[in-house]
Structure 1
Amino acid sequence: MIPFSDDELIEPVLESFKQIMPMLKRDGGGMELLGIKNGIVYVRLTGHCHGCASSSQTLKYGVERQLKLDIHPELSVINVPIGEEFDIEKI
């Protein structure tokens, strides 16, 4: 069980993203935080990362790994593709 509320995770997640973003930007991509619910971090990959064949690897071994190292080992990440509706309240 993650000992933080979803609201308490926002700032640490954004700080952790600072470690990841240069890697994404080097490849012409990006990522935005859509929300956090029950320890699941919802993001949207943008730029060249959107639709990239390696995007699932980037999420699992880049983004999720960094969040687990920086914050808590039970965090997970889900990409919400561009064009897909997202409403954290409906999750």
Structure 2
Amino acid sequence: MAATHTQPDPAPAGGLRWLPLLAAIAIMLGITVWPHALSGPSGDADHWAAMALFWAMSAGFVAGVGFRPHFILWRAGFSGPACLIGIALALLRLWTLH
């Protein structure tokens, strides 16, 4: 009989997490409707604020649908607290520019 190789079970899914999911949806819709929110005083795009906010959006979607990556760094980078940190960094960046 041939040996079978099975993959380890994926990390357990946690179900929907409404707070990060709603934050991600709000970021997505907010930036779609008002893209100038991510601009500096000169009117140019602020890439640091955009990076932080889009990281928060990505983390919110990943954590919000209940996906939990295996690799510890991905798990930390796409978690609910990472979503909150990304929002805070974007707001801090925009607040210091204006």
Normalised to the residue count of structure 2, the TM-score between the two structures is: 0.29
**More helix by percentage:** 2
Larger gyration radius, structure 1 or structure 2: 2
- Specify which structure has the bigger relative contact order, considering alpha-carbon pairs within 8 angstroms and separated by 6 or more residues: 2
